[in-house]
């Protein structure tokens, strides 16, 4: 009954990341099976995506960029999505799926996807006439249904939102809402002890959408997943890494890739650079590139060297530099600069904080200057 993977979100990122991994693994006989995707927003573009997913033809993913110095320009077809539902129109079908073969739940909701909506109330449990508004409320309703009809079946939940320890965070939000709704203690225990909530890090730049479905993405891709007992993966893929040290992957990405993007956005704002400037164009400005290289080499890399991870950090920086120089991706600094002050606090502040603890002689003038300009 249904597909073994239930996915919330139809973003271009998921289309070119998890969904593509599953499609490629299915071709090799290394996936649980297909994906049922649930669209949770009601925009016309979203409705077009659902209709396109349902045509059975798959959708295009263009992989364009640099990999180990070679240019990649490849057109792939993703065929892992076998069914698409609109939560607002098809909620009874979504609930029915949880009584079937669903073994993995994947999500990539918006920035506020974990926020609770007070209009969602406990009377949503056990009925399908009303659709929960928030993603956590949807999960509570679905998981209560699963607990009632199929409590022993394996279930691993993979949030892909860029939230620190996203699995633990989503589990706690769902548990708190279930308690607020006065759900049984046995159900709360089942949420914690039976369901496996995976902490993971996703990393791939997906810069453009192809309408109505499809995406343009870089060659680099990573899905780092923290090892847990009873964890069931949706597939086996070369870009999926199961690790005992997820923080190591998170720190590399945050300190080099995310901080690099945010520094370029800072310069784009303060220097009043071209409105449509991309990351690749900024990297080809000799003066700006030199400043970014100084930030990486003098203000970030010494931290990893002092932690004993200098070689790994240098290798990762090589991939980041290649990704930033990608001539194909239209990754606009104007997009990166959205919510800029919040991003500076989240992306730059931890670098300075860790340096103070591990590398007290490190000056970090570029990072400190950027943080001083928070409004």
Residues 62-96 have pLDDT tens digits of 999 999 899 999 999 999 999 999 999 999 999 99
Q: Which of 106, 111, 139 is nearest to 18 (CA)?
A: 106
Helix, strand or coil, per DSSP, at residue 5: strand
Give the predicted TM-score (pTM) of the model. 0.93
Structure token pair of residue 191: 């949420």
Classify each residue of 193-217 as buried b or exposed e, where b means 16 or more C-beta atoms within 10 Å of its C-beta.
Answer: ebbbbbbbbbbbbbbbbeebbbbbb
Q: How far apart are alpha carbons 189 and 127 in whole angstroms?
A: 23
Do the domains 5-244 and 247-372 sit in the same CATH topology, yes or no? no
Task: Give all strands of the β-sheet with 104-107 in edge-to-edge order.
Answer: 81-86, 35-39, 5-8, 104-107, 156-159, 196-197
Summarised one tens digit per residue, pLDDT across range 139-169 is 999 999 999 999 999 999 999 998 889 999 9
Instruction: Please state whether beta strands 215-217 and 59-67 pair in parallel, antiparallel, or not at all (unpaired).
Output: parallel
Helix, strand or coil, per DSSP, at residue 196: strand
CATH 2.40.110.10 is held by the domain 247-372: no
Give the CATH number of domain 5-244; options: 3.30.950.10, 3.40.50.2300, 3.40.109.10, 3.40.50.720: 3.40.50.720
Q: Where are the domains of the chain?
A: 5-244, 247-372
Full pLDDT tens readout for the chain, 375 residues: 589 999 999 999 999 999 999 999 999 999 999 999 999 877 777 778 888 998 889 999 999 999 989 999 999 999 999 999 999 999 999 999 999 999 999 999 876 789 999 999 999 999 999 999 999 999 999 999 999 999 999 999 999 998 889 999 999 999 999 999 999 999 999 999 999 999 999 999 998 899 999 999 999 999 999 999 999 999 999 999 999 999 999 999 999 999 999 999 999 999 999 999 999 999 999 999 999 999 999 999 999 999 999 999 999 999 999 999 999 988 899 999 999 999 999 999 999 999 999 999 999 999 999 999 776
């Amino acid at each position: 009954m249904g597909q073994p993977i239930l996915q919330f979100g139809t973003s271009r990122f998921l289309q070119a990341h998890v969904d593509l991994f599953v499609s490629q693994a299915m071709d090799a006989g290394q996936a649980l099976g297909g994906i049922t995707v649930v669209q949770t927003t009601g925009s016309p573009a979203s409705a077009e995506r659902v209709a396109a997913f349902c045509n059975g033809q798959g959708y295009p993913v263009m992989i364009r960029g640099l990999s180990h110095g070679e240019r990649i320009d490849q057109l792939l077809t993703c065929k892992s999505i076998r069914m698409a539902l609109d939560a607002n129109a098809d909620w009874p079908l979504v609930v029915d799926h949880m009584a079937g073969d669903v073994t993995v739940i994947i999500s990539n909701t918006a920035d506020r996807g974990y926020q609770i909506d007070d209009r969602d109330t406990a009377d949503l449990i056990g009925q399908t006439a009303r659709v929960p508004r928030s993603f956590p409320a949807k999960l509570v309703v679905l998981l209560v249904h699963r607990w009632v009809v199929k409590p022993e079946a394996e279930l691993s939940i993979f949030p892909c939102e860029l939230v620190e320890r996203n699995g633990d965070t989503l589990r706690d939000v769902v548990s708190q809402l279930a308690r607020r709704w006065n759900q049984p203690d046995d159900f709360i225990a089942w949420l914690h002890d039976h369901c496996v909530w995976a902490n993971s890090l996703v990393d791939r730049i997906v810069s453009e959408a192809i309408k109505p479905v499809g995406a343009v993405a870089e060659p680099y891709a990573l899905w780092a997943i923290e090892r847990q007992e009873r964890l069931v993966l949706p597939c086996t893929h070369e870009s999926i890494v199961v690790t005992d040290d997820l923080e190591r992957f998170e720190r590399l990405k945050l300190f080099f890739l995310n901080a690099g993007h945010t520094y370029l956005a800072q310069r784009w704002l303060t220097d009043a650079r071209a409105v449509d400037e991309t990351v690749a164009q900024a990297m080809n400005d000799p003066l700006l590139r030199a400043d970014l290289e100084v930030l990486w080499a003098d203000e970030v890399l010494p931290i990893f060297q002092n932690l004993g991870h200098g070689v790994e950090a240098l290798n990762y920086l090589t991939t980041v530099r290649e990704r930033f120089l990608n001539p194909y991706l239209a990754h606009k600094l104007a997009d990166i600069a959205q919510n800029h002050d919040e991003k500076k606090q989240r992306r730059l502040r931890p670098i300075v904080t860790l340096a103070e603890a591990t590398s007290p002689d490190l000056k970090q003038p570029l990072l400190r200057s950027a943080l001083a300009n928070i409004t």
